[in-house]
Structure 1
């Protein structure tokens, strides 16, 4: 009996390839790609071997085209030698794999364009959220990206006629007045249906859609870090925070879950007391367990190792992570381990740098390590301990040279995996806008660009952050921008009435000038008259 089946559901090439990756029991016999609508548009990137069978080399138009396939539901029809070879490769991969690293289910490679990575996160669903509540285009967001690396004192300077500030790419992609209107009326939610208990209700639909895409395309690894990120804002709003000693002291605080590479997996904006928070535990513990539950539900087979600072860390939190098979490592405040039988920080300050002490709670599987550096640092962990002791290079002021001091393994691992949020902040450019939710909205766009760049580097694309932004922004304007229909300055006649001259009136001079009257004439006439004829026109 023939086990071949014909798939008749209309799917694009990208959707079909993703479906085949998810269903391991279904084997494609062959895939037919219909010619794209714009098949005659061919560029240097489109040229290649017509018989190429690598799906990673397909361009965006081929991935968007309709596709058909013949399926085999009997996996035994595959060559047995091929199965054995795949099994051996899989066994070798599992043996050599010490830290889980998985690429997301995407059909991109290091040969893909930056625009293709950016469109993973600024997808049609995200844009539709804005389009539904605003007259918005992708070109508007791209102009904001360009303003990030080509700053001007005023937004309107991009459209000026002066050669020092005019940006031809921007002015040919969107009209200045349209950009200003979008900037003035941009919305991400329906103001008539806002929940009263959510201070971020104006941005909630966009935040939820973007977070789903971040989790979907994350290149999964075991190590994750949780920290706060500040979005600068100096206006008046109930959610604005002031944090002393931070590089950005005023603004909105965002809780961010990232990878050590700086990829943002999930985020949420802090809005003080909310109805959804568990008030029986501390704020830091509540935020961290929310991220842990998200990872557990999305990736149930991976035991993550989380890193966090002393705002979150407590022995109770480490115990909760242990119950869900997660590891936790973080610096801790002395008042949260005051009952731990470990050397006092005041005594350790008097000892030389590199001195450390530790205590192991075997009942709860928690290690407490105190280490003397410039100051005394205390770390809790249920995964790492002292051994193997590392060497850390430090500058010794008295001898004016670098020295090596002992460093416990738990401190070294913490330093390697904790800086993901700081890397993300370095990659993001923040805007200071008057409307209260605009900084958060644009910060979200910047996180999308940051994730697209980091994802491209995971796939082997060698391009720096600035060049990636430039190529992506230019590609968006070239794809979605609309050049002006007519050249030259635009004349604005709105608000004025012009009355035609009588038929029997003849203009004697060709060089007649139109001048403005000092006082307004009759209401039915305009305030402009001829220089010699003295008649309102």
Structure 2
């Protein structure tokens, strides 16, 4: 599972248009292709399960419930900010799913709706999915509506110490939801619909009576809640239990009459709302940069990819918080792309050490199942019980080669071919790089190469000196390892430590092909 998650992360960063391109010869990505084959990748995606399908299950999210519970517990354990925002997020998905939603105003209109509680910098603190009827309790939905009931559930993890404020949009804000949070010693600020504030909406000025930059404020009798109507290009209605319009601030807006930006008055509640409300949208923007867009008809697979990206974004935000606390300047911090690349490589190179084969105590295995050195004296190696002591031989590692060989061949003409003896057309091997890594016995190992030759004819020009020879690699690419016998005979080359001419051995036979 770690390897599969790492491959998805790397694919999201690289962003190839087709999945098979990561394994194709021209566009291959070695870190992905060496981790697993293409067929293995699709097989794991096809058989991805988090629970056993057999038996009885509860809830529409039962297929991914263990995975979601694990992620949710980690999010709840994160430190709570003084200001948090609550908004909805869409998990892109267009396949068959019983609780798939369509929200035209979202960048990904079709998908699974997820309600998120986030910090102003985009850190996800809690979430819950909308699955239709039964998402929230019937009593809460009747009392506060769907938006207020969701606010009640997601704010359960916020400390009730009169120092935290929740920012919501018009779908979640109402007078009842503000009163409910006040009983928990939590404040709420957000835009609100006109039909949710009661009779005070009739006392507010109309849009025609307000000019740009003007506002009107009303406070409830107990002074625990206020409503502010402010007009910019359009009028907006805000409800809060912790902040009002004082002290006033200013903002810059574009003026069509003056053709430039002008400074207009702004109430304090609007400034706070604009600064603290965009946490969920910021998280969506971070996730959209390097999202893995591999198509799938299974919503659990899409859910898995989405939350892997969400976890990485959360970790990156926490990393930036740590850098800010440690005094590390922004230029020396890892970008989101570099951070995801490091995480993807770490997941791909992950090795599970939890399953280690521990050797059992007792009598060693019989001699028939273990290799024994042929030179051993059986009489000397017999113990009292008559069993053979097996000699353990550890293979020595083979050093890597740092030698590059180039074959040179002479080509007189495409039409006229050489008159030579069999195998003389390739007769020189030149050493181009350092030969420091030489194996024992002064024998340099090299991979088998596969080369095509002209078939010698009866007449042709003589073979010139080696200084006039043309590199064979300039005509076609020589594969490092011979894999297809149909391309010609395999040639094995050996050389001594003194130079390529000493100890040269060729196993070459005449084959007919065209360079």
Task: State the Cα distance separating 1:213 from its structure 2 match.
Answer: 0.8
1:317 aligns with one of 163, 173, 177: 177
Asked if structure 1 preserves the Cα contact closer than 8 Å seen for 2:96 and 2:297, the reply is no
Secondary structure of the corresponding residue to residue 246 of structure 1: coil
Flag structure 1 segments of 5+ consecutive residues without an equivalent.
1-135, 482-486, 489-509, 514-537
CA distance in 2, matches of 1:273, 1:356: 40
- 2:306 paired with 1:443: yes
Give a deviation string over 1:227-261, Cα, whole Å, max 9, x none. Answer: 00011112222211111222221111100010001
The residue aligned with 2:11 is: 147
Task: Count how many residue pairs are aligned between Structure 1 and Structure 2.
Answer: 344
Asked if structure 2 preserves the Cα contact closer than 8 Å seen for 1:348 and 1:372, the reply is yes
1:188 aligns with one of 50, 55, 59: 50
- 2:90 paired with 1:230: yes
- 2:168 paired with 1:168: no
Asked if structure 2 preserves the Cα contact closer than 8 Å seen for 1:349 and 1:376, the reply is no
The residue aligned with 1:472 is: 343
CA distance in 2, matches of 1:312, 1:211: 21
Structure (1 or 2) with the greater helix fraction:
1
The residue aligned with 1:267 is: 127
Q: Higher Cα Rg: structure 1 or 2? A: 2
- 2:224 paired with 1:365: yes
Task: State the Cα distance separating 1:275 from its structure 2 match.
Answer: 6.7
Report the TM-score, using the length of structure 1 for normalisation. Answer: 0.61
The residue aligned with 2:21 is: 157
Asked if structure 1 preserves the Cα contact closer than 8 Å seen for 2:22 and 2:33, the reply is yes
CA distance in 1, matches of 2:486, 2:37: 33
Asked if structure 1 preserves the Cα contact closer than 8 Å seen for 2:23 and 2:33, the reply is yes
- 2:75 paired with 1:204: no
Residues 208-287 of structure 1 mapped to structure 2, 5 A cutoff: 208-216=69-77, 218-274=78-134, 276-277=136-137, 278-281=140-143, 282-287=145-150
Secondary structure of the corresponding residue to residue 106 of structure 2: coil
CA distance in 2, matches of 1:159, 1:275: 42
Give a deviation string over 1:283-328, Cα, whole Å, max 9, x none. Answer: 1111100011232xxx455732100000010011111111111010
Flag structure 2 segments of 5+ consecutive residues without an equivalent.
353-446, 449-484, 489-515
CA distance in 2, matches of 1:512, 1:410: 77
The residue aligned with 1:88 is: none
Higher RCO, 1 or 2 (CA under 8 Å, sep at least 6)?
A: 1
Task: State the Cα distance separating 1:343 from its structure 2 match.
Answer: 5.1
Task: State the Cα distance separating 1:193 from its structure 2 match.
Answer: 3.7
Give a deviation string over 1:7-44, Cα, whole Å, max 9, x none. Answer: xxxxxxxxxxxxxxxxxxxxxxxxxxxxxxxxxxxxxx
CA distance in 2, matches of 1:258, 1:350: 37
CA distance in 2, matches of 1:435, 1:180: 13
1:331 aligns with one of 191, 202, 209: 191
Asked if structure 2 preserves the Cα contact closer than 8 Å seen for 1:230 and 1:248, the reply is yes
Task: State the Cα distance separating 1:435 from its structure 2 match.
Answer: 1.0
CA distance in 1, matches of 2:216, 2:337: 45
Task: State the Cα distance separating 1:222 from its structure 2 match.
Answer: 1.0
Task: State the Cα distance separating 1:358 from its structure 2 match.
Answer: 0.6
Secondary structure of the corresponding residue to residue 142 of structure 2: coil
CA distance in 2, matches of 1:343, 1:300: 34
Backbone CA RMSD of aligned residues: 2.5
CA distance in 1, matches of 2:261, 2:161: 44
The residue aligned with 2:282 is: 423
Asked if structure 1 preserves the Cα contact closer than 8 Å seen for 2:214 and 2:231, the reply is yes
Task: State the Cα distance separating 1:151 from its structure 2 match.
Answer: 1.3
CA distance in 1, matches of 2:125, 2:286: 15
CA distance in 1, matches of 2:263, 2:98: 48
Asked if structure 2 preserves the Cα contact closer than 8 Å seen for 1:387 and 1:408, the reply is yes
CA distance in 1, matches of 2:34, 2:162: 49
CA distance in 2, matches of 1:193, 1:331: 46
1:289 aligns with one of 152, 162, 171: 152
Residues 33-182 of structure 1 mapped to structure 2, 5 A cutoff: 136=1, 138-162=2-26, 165-182=27-44
Secondary structure of the corresponding residue to residue 394 of structure 1: strand
Secondary structure of the corresponding residue to residue 444 of structure 1: helix
Task: State the Cα distance separating 1:350 from its structure 2 match.
Answer: 5.5
Distance 1:447 1:378, change over 3 A: same
Distance 1:175 1:294, change over 3 A: same
Report the TM-score, using the length of structure 2 for normalisation. Answer: 0.63
CA distance in 2, matches of 1:350, 1:171: 67
CA distance in 2, matches of 1:279, 1:398: 47
CA distance in 2, matches of 1:408, 1:193: 58
The residue aligned with 2:315 is: 452
